[in-house]
């Protein structure tokens, strides 16, 4: 019967591994750090086709204008804005459409203004070349901010 030994114990015929050897190995195999914040969003947008990118950049600028204190970054693998450390809104590109995710309450309140778009509980879908107007985005953002303020932690 063969005895199984932990790698830190010296085996017959092989040198013992030290903790520093395994730390060095981890450093060699560690992946590059992913970009975060605005850099990550810019990387995401740069990876998109030009006609899709243009619409999402307009949407991103409208969001930034409506909530200048919000921080941009990546959440759930898509661009997002956070306000006071809490998720505000998200947006993303898909094969056939782009989406804006301002949360369910904002969509419910502004349902009449959102008639030209396909909506679901928390999503607004739009063609890549026709993002929602900056004025409508500002209304949705304002509603979402008031929702976040009501549920302050």
How would you write the pLDDT of the chain (153 residues) with one tens digit per residue?
555 554 555 555 555 555 555 555 555 555 555 667 889 999 999 999 999 999 999 999 999 999 999 999 999 999 999 999 999 999 999 999 999 999 999 999 999 999 999 999 999 999 999 999 999 999 999 999 999 998 876
pLDDT of residue 56: 96
3-state secondary structure of 14: strand
Lookup: tokens for 89: 């809104």
All structural domains of the chain: 50-150 (3.90.1150.200)
What does the alpha-carbon distance between residue 83 and residue 10 come to, in Å, rounded to a whole number? 54
Query: Tokens 């026709």 correspond to what residue?
Result: 130
What does the alpha-carbon distance between residue 130 and residue 132 come to, in Å, rounded to a whole number? 7
Task: Tell me the pLDDT tens digit for each residue of 10-43.
Answer: 555 555 555 555 555 555 555 555 667 889 999 9
| Centroid of chain to Cα 66 | 19
DSSP 88: E
pLDDT of residue 36: 73
Lookup: tokens for 120: 């679901």
């Amino acid at each position: 019967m063969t005895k199984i030994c932990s790698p830190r114990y010296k085996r017959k015929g092989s040198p013992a591994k030290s903790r520093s050897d395994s730390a060095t190995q981890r450093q060699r195999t560690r992946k590059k750090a992913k970009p975060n914040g605005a850099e990550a969003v810019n990387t995401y947008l740069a990876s998109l086709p030009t006609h899709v990118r243009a619409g999402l950049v307009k949407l991103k600028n409208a969001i930034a204008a409506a909530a200048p204190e919000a921080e941009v970054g990546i959440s759930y693998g898509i661009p997002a804005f956070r306000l006071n450390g809490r998720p505000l809104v998200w947006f993303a590109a898909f094969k056939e459409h782009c989406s804006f995710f301002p949360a369910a309450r904002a969509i419910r309140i502004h349902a009449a203004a959102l008639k030209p778009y396909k909506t679901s509980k928390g999503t607004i879908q739009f063609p890549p070349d026709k993002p929602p107007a900056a004025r409508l985005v500002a209304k949705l953002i304002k509603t979402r901010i008031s929702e976040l303020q009501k549920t302050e932690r």
